[in-house]
Structure 1
Amino acid sequence: MNARGPVADRLLPLTGLPVLPVSVAEAGRARELAARHGMTSDLAVDLTDAVITRVERLAAERDRPAVTDRHRALSYAELAAEARRLATLLEESGVEPGTVVGVGGERCASVIAAFLAIELIGALYVPADETWPAARVRDVLGQAGASVLLTVDTGASAPALLEGAAAAGCTVVRAERAAACAPWAGPARLDSLDRPRYVLFTSGSTGKPKGAVVEHQGMINHLYAKIVDLELTGADVVAQTAPLGFDISVWQMLCPLLIGGRVDVIGDEVGHDPVAFARAVDAQGITIVELVPTMVRHLLDDLAGAPAGSLGGLRWMIATGEELPAELSRRWLEAMPHARLLNAYGPTECSDDVTHHTVTAGDLELLRLPIGVPIVNSRLYVLRHEDDGTWSACDLEETGELFVGGVCVGRGYLGDPQRTCDAFYQDPFEESPTGRLYRTGDAVKLLPPGAGGDARPTLQYLGRVDRQVKISGVRMELGEIEAVLQRHPGVGAAAVVVHEYSA
C-alpha cells in the first residue's frame, strides 16, 4: 500500500473484514436482547451537512462569536473566511481530495479553521501534538501518509514537531501565509457520508501506533449526540481543553459550531492549573467542560477554599478517558449540585463516545458507576466468547465483552489490514450491506432496571480483557512499552506492570 496515496486505497474494504462467528439463532437473540434492553438507539439526524457549511449558514443568519483563545476572537463569518483562505493555501501546497494533512502547533482558533479548511477540500485531518517527541511526530505523520504539515503557530514551532515532520518527509506550511490567499470557492467536497474525515493514532502492542480512521457520518452523528444528550443551545460555551491527539478534541472544537454556540480554547498553562482554570471558566462564561476524572479530582481539591459561586455558570461536567470513581462523583454532586455530571465512554475507533450516563445520587451505592446507554444511532452488544470459538449474547447481569455497531463505527486502521481484522468485523446483527462491528476489548455487564439511579437497563464497565491500560486518560498498550524497551541493545527482555498509588 502506498503511504502517500489516497486514504481509500489504504483501507480494508468491508468484504475484507472477517465475519464474527455467531450462529443465526444467536444473532437473532443478540438483536432481540439489545432492542429489549435499550441498547439500540435510532434518531433521524441530518448527516449530510459539512461543519463548514453550517458555520457559513449561521454566519449569514446572524453573525456571532464562534471561537475565542488567549490571542483573539473569531466570529462565524471570520472563522469561515479564514478556513477558505487556508483551503486555498493547502491546495496550492499540493493537497488533494482524499489525502492526509497534518496539523500541528499550539491549540488555538487556527486549528479549528484548519480542520474546516481540510473538510472544504475533501482531505483528512491528522493532528501532531506540539508536545510529542520527534519520533512520535515522525511515526504518526509517516504512517498517515501526510505530505504536508500545516503549522498554526504565529512564532517558532516546537523543534521536535519540525524535526519529526522532516523525518516523515512532510513539507511544512505555515498557516499565517493564508492571509495573502484568496478565499477558496465552492461548496465543501462531500460526495458520500462514508468519506474518511480524520485519523487519530492510538497505542499499539507492537510498538507501532494505530491510525483509527473516522468517517464523516460517524463524526457528525457524534456531534449531534452531544447536542441531544447535553441539550446544547446557541447560548452554550464549550471549553476546548483536550490535546489535539485526543479524540474528544474533535467534538470540543466542532460541536458548538453546529448550533451557534462558542468554543473557548483554554491552553495548557491555564488548563493544568485548577484555580486558574476555574477563573477562566467563570470569566469566559463556559457552560460545558470535559475532563478526565484525575483532573476533576484536582479541580475539586484546589477549589475547596475558593470563593462561593466558583463554576456557578457551569451546566455540565463530562468525565471521560478513565473510569469515574463513585467517591469522586459523590464529591462533585455535593460541591456542584447545579452542574450535572456525565459519565462518557467510547473508543476512538467509534468516533469517540458511544455511551452517556448522567450520574445521580442513586448510582453512588454501586461499586462501579454505570457508563450508560447508547448515543443516537448506535448499537451495543454484550457477547460471551464460548469454548468452541463462537460468540453468544449475554442477558442482564451476565458479564461479556462489548461490541459496537451503527454509523459511529470507523473504517479501521490506516494501512494496517491485520490489526483492522483483529478488531473490526462485518456486522452480523444488521441487514445494512456496509455495517461494521467493533470489538472494544472491554468487559461489561448489563445492570437491570433500578440498579443505581436509572429506571432503564444500563451498562457497567468492569475492566479490560487484554493488557491495555489508561493513564490520565491516555490509552497505553503495555506490550507497546515492552516492545520499545526491547529495541535497546542492552535489554534482553522486558515486562511492564502498572501500580496505582496516591500522591
Structure 2
Amino acid sequence: MSARGPAVDRLLPLDGLPVLAVPAGEAERARELAVRHGMVCERPVDLPDPVITRVERFAAEQDRPAVADRTRTLSYAGLAQEARRLAALLEDAGVEPGTVVGVGGARSAAVVAAFLAIELIGALYVPADETWPAGRVRDVLDQAGASVLVVVDEGECAPALLEGVAEAGCRVLRAADAAGLAPWAGAPRLDAPDRPRYVLFTSGSTGRPKGAVVEHQGMVNHLWGKIVDLGLTGDDVVAFTAPLGFDISIWQMLCPLLVGGRVDVVGDEVAHDPVAFARAVDAQGITVVELVPTMVRHLLDDLPDASEGSLGGLRWMIATGEELPAELARRWLEAMPHAGLLNAYGPTECSDDVTHHTVTAGDLDLLRLPIGAPIVNARLYVLRPLDEGTWAACDVGETGELFVGGVAVGRGYLGDDARTREAFYRDPFGGSPTGRLYRTGDAVRLLPAGAGGADRPVLQYLGRVDRQVKISGVRMELGEIEAVLQRHPAVGAAAVVVHEYPAG
C-alpha cells in the first residue's frame, strides 16, 4: 500500500528531472521561432484566487443559480455553504493540507461542492468513477495515497466502488453526513500558486495507471484560457458531461463558476443518448458543450429525431479527446452555423487543453484540421531528434514532436519518479514559471499563416510519433492515411495498421 501523507513528499523535485539536451545555439533558435510563430502566449492572469473565493464573491454580490443536476439546483450561496460543511467533515476526519482526498460516485452537484471543500482545506482531489471496477478503484486510491474517500451519492453507490475503497484501506465519508455540521469558517488554505490541486490517473503502457499531478496555477490558467477563447460570461450554461476520471470534467464543473455562469450536470442516461441530450440542451438552456468527435457524429446523425430547431441556443461545440475529421467538421458547420466549433488539444499532464482552434470553412480543404495555437501562458515547441539524444527546433512546414512549457505543465506522476523522468524535463528554453517541459509524444506540423482559415501560424496534429513507419525505405504516418480515408463521406472511422508478410 502507498504511503499516506502530503502528496508533495512523493513528487520528484525540479532538480531531479533530466535537462532536455539541446545543442548550443538551438535553445535560442527554438525560443525565437516559438515567439515569431505565435507559439508563446503571454497574458496576465489572476492565478492566486481559489475558485471558492469567486463563488463566495458572487454569492455576496448577487446570488444566482450555480449548479444544477436532475434532483436539485444550488445557488452560489448554497454551493458555498455546502462546500464549507463538507470542509468541516473533512477536517473532523483528520484531512490536512497537501493530503489526497478521493471523491466517488455519480456526476452531481455534490461533486462540485466536494471539489471546493477539498480546495478550502488545501488538499488534493482525486476522483474515483462509479463505473470503474473494484481493482481500478483500489489501484488509483492506493497509488494516490488517499486516506479518505467522500461518497457523493445520496443513496446506495456502486458496490465495486465500496469494494475498491475497502481494499485500498480508505475511510469512507458520506457527503450527506455534512448536512448537520456548522460550516467551516477558515480562509482557503492556498499558500502558493504551485500548490498541487488535483491528481488524475491516465492509462499506462504497462497497465499500471499514472497519477498526473496538476498545480493550482496550471488549473486556474486553463480555466481562464477557456473563458478568454470562448468569451464566457454569466449568461453561459456549461454542460457537465465528462466522467469524473477525465480531465475535461475539471473545467466543465469549475469554469462557469469564475464568471457567474451555471454548471448543468448531465447524467449518463442522457449524455449517452443523442436525442435525449439534444432535448436536454434545449430545455436547460445549455450554451457550451464539449464532446468527443464520435459523439458529435452521433448527435448530428440523430438530430432529425429531436425537436425542430434543436440546439438553437448553443454557442459552442468543443471537440476533444479524438482527432476531429474534416468531413465531420463540415457537417457541423453546415448544420449548426450559429454555433462555433472549437478543436481542442491537450494532455492531462498539462492541465488539460493547451491549444484551441476555431474551425472555419477554409480549414476544410486541409487534409487534417489544425489544433491551433497556444492558450494563455502556454509555450509550445516543435522539435526534431538529432543524433545522440539531442533535439533541434522545427520551422514552418517541418514535422516534429510537440513539447509543452509554461504554467500549464504539471508536477509529474505521483510517487513514480521513473515515469516522470521519461516525460518531464527541465526547460532549457527559459521563461517558464514551473521550470518544466513536457514531452507529449505527438507529431505535429506548424502550418504557415493563411493555411486554411487561419490568419497566423497554427499547429496541425499528425498522430503519435510511435505510429510513424518505414515501408520500402519511405517514412509514412499511419494517421495521414487514416485522415485521407475519413475524408470520404461514407467512412465514419478508419484505423490503419501495418502487417508484415514473409518474403516469397
Distance 1:293 1:432, change over 3 A: closer
Which residue identity lines up with residue 94 of structure 2 in the other structure? G
The equivalences for 1:401-440 within 5 A come to: 401-432=401-432, 434-440=434-440
Equivalence for 2:101: 101
Shift of 1:375: 0.1
| Structure 2 unaligned spans of 5+ | 469-493, 498-504
Count of residues in Structure 1 that have an aligned counterpart in Structure 2? 472
Question: Are 1:129 and 2:129 an aligned pair?
Answer: yes
Shift of 1:94: 1.5
Which residue identity lines up with residue 185 of structure 2 in the other structure? A
Shift of 1:465: 1.4
Equivalence for 1:290: 290
Indicate the SS of the match to 1:8: helix
- Report Cα offsets for 1:466-499 as digits up to 9, x if no partner: 379xxxxxxxxxxxxxxxxxxxxxxxxxxxxx95
CA distance in 2, matches of 1:306, 1:124: 41
CA distance in 2, matches of 1:440, 1:333: 30
Question: Are 1:357 and 2:357 an aligned pair?
Answer: yes
Question: Are 1:382 and 2:382 an aligned pair?
Answer: yes
> 4+ residue stretches of structure 1 with deviation over 6 A?
none
Question: Are 1:392 and 2:403 an aligned pair?
Answer: no
- Report Cα offsets for 1:208-258 as digits up to 9, x if no partner: 100000000000000000000000000000000000000000000000000
CA distance in 2, matches of 1:211, 1:466: 22
Equivalence for 1:493: none
Which residue identity lines up with residue 117 of structure 1 in the other structure? A
Equivalence for 2:169: 169
Which residue identity lines up with residue 53 of structure 1 in the other structure? T
Indicate the SS of the match to 1:343: strand
Verify the 8 A CA contact 2:2 2:144 in the aligned structure 1.
no
Shift of 1:306: 3.4
Distance 1:152 1:429, change over 3 A: same
Indicate the SS of the match to 1:444: strand
CA distance in 2, matches of 1:432, 1:196: 17
Question: Are 1:216 and 2:216 an aligned pair?
Answer: yes
CA distance in 2, matches of 1:194, 1:441: 25
CA distance in 1, matches of 2:154, 2:19: 49
Shift of 1:398: 0.3
Equivalence for 2:340: 340
Equivalence for 1:485: none
Question: Are 1:245 and 2:238 an aligned pair?
Answer: no
Verify the 8 A CA contact 1:364 1:452 in the aligned structure 2.
yes
Verify the 8 A CA contact 1:53 1:187 in the aligned structure 2.
no
Shift of 1:500: 7.2
Verify the 8 A CA contact 2:406 2:434 in the aligned structure 1.
no
CA distance in 2, matches of 1:499, 1:433: 40
| Structure 1 unaligned spans of 5+ | 469-497
Equivalence for 1:65: 65
CA distance in 2, matches of 1:433, 1:279: 44
Equivalence for 1:74: 74
TM norm structure 1: 0.92
CA distance in 2, matches of 1:240, 1:162: 24
The equivalences for 1:457-472 within 5 A come to: 457-466=457-466
Verify the 8 A CA contact 2:406 2:432 in the aligned structure 1.
no
Equivalence for 2:330: 330
CA distance in 2, matches of 1:5, 1:95: 9
Equivalence for 2:472: none
CA distance in 2, matches of 1:452, 1:145: 47
Q: CA RMSD in A?
A: 1.4
Equivalence for 1:489: none
Verify the 8 A CA contact 1:41 1:375 in the aligned structure 2.
yes
- Report Cα offsets for 1:290-348 as digits up to 9, x if no partner: 00000000000000343331000000000000000000000000000000000000000
Distance 1:433 1:194, change over 3 A: closer
- Report Cα offsets for 1:444-474 as digits up to 9, x if no partner: 0100111111011000000001379xxxxxx
Verify the 8 A CA contact 1:3 1:415 in the aligned structure 2.
no
Shift of 1:11: 0.2
Indicate the SS of the match to 1:222: helix
CA distance in 1, matches of 2:312, 2:433: 49
- Report Cα offsets for 1:357-390 as digits up to 9, x if no partner: 0000000000100000000000000000112321
Shift of 1:432: 4.8
Which residue identity lines up with residue 138 of structure 2 in the other structure? R
Distance 1:444 1:387, change over 3 A: same
Identity %: 80
Verify the 8 A CA contact 1:405 1:438 in the aligned structure 2.
yes
Equivalence for 1:151: 151
Indicate the SS of the match to 1:172: strand
Which residue identity lines up with residue 342 of structure 2 in the other structure? L
Verify the 8 A CA contact 1:2 1:10 in the aligned structure 2.
no
Equivalence for 2:233: 233
CA distance in 1, matches of 2:220, 2:124: 15
Shift of 1:205: 1.3
Shift of 1:27: 0.2
Shift of 1:2: 5.8
Indicate the SS of the match to 2:111: helix
- Report Cα offsets for 1:96-121 as digits up to 9, x if no partner: 11000000001000000000000000
Verify the 8 A CA contact 1:383 1:400 in the aligned structure 2.
yes
Q: Which moved more, 1:429-438 or 1:30-39?
A: 429-438
Which residue identity lines up with residue 223 of structure 1 in the other structure? L
Indicate the SS of the match to 1:437: strand
- Report Cα offsets for 1:187-222 as digits up to 9, x if no partner: 100000000000000011121100000000000000
Indicate the SS of the match to 2:66: strand
Distance 1:264 1:22, change over 3 A: same
CA distance in 1, matches of 2:270, 2:313: 18
CA distance in 1, matches of 2:130, 2:2: 27
- Report Cα offsets for 1:397-448 as digits up to 9, x if no partner: 1000000000000000000000000000001111457410000000001001
CA distance in 1, matches of 2:203, 2:395: 32
